[in-house]
Amino acid sequence: MAKCPYDGTEVPNPTKTWVMIGKPLGGKRVKLTNGIFHCPTCGKNFRAVIKKEILPA
Ligand SMILES: [Zn+2]
């Protein structure tokens, strides 16, 4: 679930997701699950972070 930055529509499902794992920093690394969402109201695509996790490095 993500909110369209253009008109505030809540879009329940991403059309594409991917995971990004950051470089270790201070004994931790950040794992981000990103998604591309398509807004049915304005027809635009936008990117949003779905989940953010802190992992031990
Ligand atoms: Zn929109």
The 3 state secondary structure assigned to 11-55 is: ECCCCEEEEEECCCECCEEEEEEEEEEECCCCCCEEEEEEEEEEE
* Mean pLDDT of all residues belonging to the chain: 96
Q: Is the pLDDT reported for residue 57 higher than 90? A: no
40 CB-near residues (< 8 Å, 6+ apart): 9, 11
Catalogue all structural domains in the chain, each as residue range(s) with its CATH number.
2-56 (2.30.30)
pTM of the model: 0.82
Structure tokens at 54: 């802190």
Q: How confident is the model at residue 10 (pLDDT cuts 50, 70, 90)?
A: very high
> Residues 35-51: pLDDT tens digits?
999 999 999 999 999 99
Give the distance (Å) from ligand 1 centre to CA of residue 22.
29
Cα(38) to centroid of ligand 1, in Å?
A: 8
Distance 4 CA to ligand 1 centre (A): 5
What value does the mean pLDDT take over residues 7-33? 96
By C-alpha distance, which of 34, 29, 36 is closest to 53? 29
